[in-house]
Amino acid sequence: MTSNGSQAALSDDRLQELAKRHLMMHFTRHSTFRNEDVPIITRGEGCYLYDSKGKRYFDGLAGLFCTQIGYSFGAELGEAAATQMAELPFYTNWSYAHPRSIELAAKVAELAPGDLNRAFFVSGGSEANEAIIKLVRQYHQLQGHHHRYKMIARRIAYHGTTLGALSLTGIYPLKTPFEPLMAGVRHVSNTNRYRRPHGESEQEFTQFLLDELRGVIEQEGPDSVAAVFMEPVQNSGGTFTPPEGYYQGVRAICDEYGVLLVADEVICGFGRLGEWFGSTRYDIRPDIVTFAKGVGSAHVPLGGVLMTDDVAGPFLEGTTVLNHGITYGGHPVSAAVALKNLEVMEREDVLGNVRRNEGYFQELLEKLGEKPIVGDVRGAGYFRSLELVKDKDTKETFDDEESDHLLRGFLSGRLWDAGLICRADDRGDPVIQLSPPLIATREELDFIHDVLDTVLDEAWDEMQRPHSHGSGKVVTGGRQVVDTN
Ligand SMILES: Cc1ncc(COP(=O)(O)O)c(C=O)c1O
């Protein structure tokens, strides 16, 4: 029997056979599995995962930046789910409320900064951003601003994969197979400090970014711009933190032009940066926040939109309704599990753990930053990246072929063999992304360091071998100012 008692456990061979025959995995090169086994994760404990062969891995990515409390509170959260299942397994938030969605809305509002007081629940991050696109457009319509529909997001940012959210996403290879996407989306520079022009000061960098944002709003026509979307710390490209004064400047520009500021907190929310919301850490003061992942530590599918009283106001008058809904929004079982997750996070002082250890984590990674292959070390809280370069002095990066060899041909396999799950990513320049469960101890952070210490040296040696040489691309100086998608 399996541990849930429902059917006989399948052997690893049988699972492999069935996975290869029937399962279409997300963003996965299936051709690899002609010669290799599918990685099958069967159980978790603390910050560790076990595969179908019994091997243990440290989960340095917290699932997909989402299992804040790791893998040992499933039974406790499961009890909350079982109680809710027995009491009310489902009811809808379409015209009705139920206790758990009410309690969760109030709890999320209590944890959020400022007057972000009203929550609209969905099933995940893409759906949350999708909901915002509609909410923002309808909000402006209700104000009589019928032409405000355009959105501004940042290059290489990931905001999800449904067609609206994908339009906001700034990673072109993800978008091109599905074009044309939603009209009226522009992308501006992200806050990649490492690639800013040589000699540029922090203030000049902030000013450049703000001037660019203002320029795009002016170019599009200020009366046509509805919202600006930003993650407090941008994940894709490798944990880009904001330069000094950036969010205060963005807020001022949004106020000046009547544009709504949206913080996509799908990753940063619920403790990843040591605060309940990244907006608190950077004093962003957004009009709207999206959240998902960490709110339930990914034990259930759940996401949401949190809006200020001012944004909610027009939807609460007369015959007006927010014209959006999905069946599972505010699902009572998801809400019950999220409430229990937040209770566990408070009881275990998970945010305190991040705050106490973030400096230590940074120091460990800075030691790795001395290696020739590590060009930059960046991030905040339990959300960090190492950028890998071909030449540290010139910041020369690897070309596409080299990057593919380094990340997919070498690092992914070596890290997996060494028992560390993290992300080797080249949606921007090549980076290793780290986002451990928020319960990770210093000893566990040491483990991350120790594995990378060895594997990055091996990676450097590997890239010195003649077969992996390519032309390289230097991207230190130039900067694209505005794209035109
Ligand atoms: C910042 C951000 N926004 C939105 C999403 C989309 O969330 P989901 O995969 O739950 O649809 C993600 C997913 O990783 C994300 O990182």
**pLDDT value of residue 4:** 56
| 76-347 to CATH, choices 3.40.640.10, 3.40.50.720, 3.30.565.10, 3.30.70.980 | 3.40.640.10
Same fold, 39-69+350-468 and 76-347: no
Residue 9's pLDDT is 87
Average pLDDT over residues 84-96: 97
Break the chain into its structural domains and give their ranges: 39-69+350-468, 76-347
Q: Apex CA 390: angle with CA 388 and CA 394, to 5°?
A: 105
CATH fit for domain 39-69+350-468, picks 3.10.350.10, 3.40.50.2300, 3.40.50.300, 3.90.1150.10: 3.90.1150.10
* Ligand 1 pocket test, candidate residues 121, 127, 133, 158, most atoms within 8 A of CB: 158
- Cβ of 376: how many Cβ atoms within 10 Å? 20
The residue whose C-alpha atom lies closest to atom 7 belonging to ligand 1 is 125
Residues lining ligand 1, Cβ inside 6 A: 64, 124-126, 129, 158-160, 231, 235, 264, 266-267, 292, 303
Are 382 and 436 contacting, i.e. CB atoms less than 8 angstroms apart?
yes
| CA angle 61–62–66, rounded 5-degree value | 120
Average pLDDT in the chain:
94
The answer, yes or no, to whether residue 473 has pLDDT greater than 60, is no
pLDDT given at position 3? 54
Helix (H) or strand (E) segment spanning residue 186? strand 185-188
Going by CA atoms, what residue is nearest to atom 8 of ligand 1?
Answer: 125
- For residues 59 and 69, what is the distance between their CA atoms, to the nearest angstrom? 12
CA of 305 to the centre of ligand 1 (A): 13
Tell me which of 66, 133, 159 to substitute to probe ligand 1's pocket, judged by most ligand atoms within 8 Å of the beta carbon.
159
* 156-211 pLDDT tens trace: 999 999 999 999 999 999 999 999 999 999 999 999 999 999 999 999 999 999 99
Ligand 1 centre to CA of 266 (Å) is: 6
CA of 290 to the centre of ligand 1 (A): 10
Q: 302 — phi, psi (to 5°)? A: -160, 135
Note the pTM of the prediction, 2 decimals: 0.95
* Best probe residue, ligand 1, of 266, 299, 385, 433 (max atoms within 8 Å of C-beta): 266
pLDDT score, position 250 = 98
| CA dist., res. 335 & res. 295, Å (int) | 9
Q: How far is residue 471's CA from residue 474's CA, in Å, rounded to a whole number?
A: 10
CA of 406 to the centre of ligand 1 (A): 26
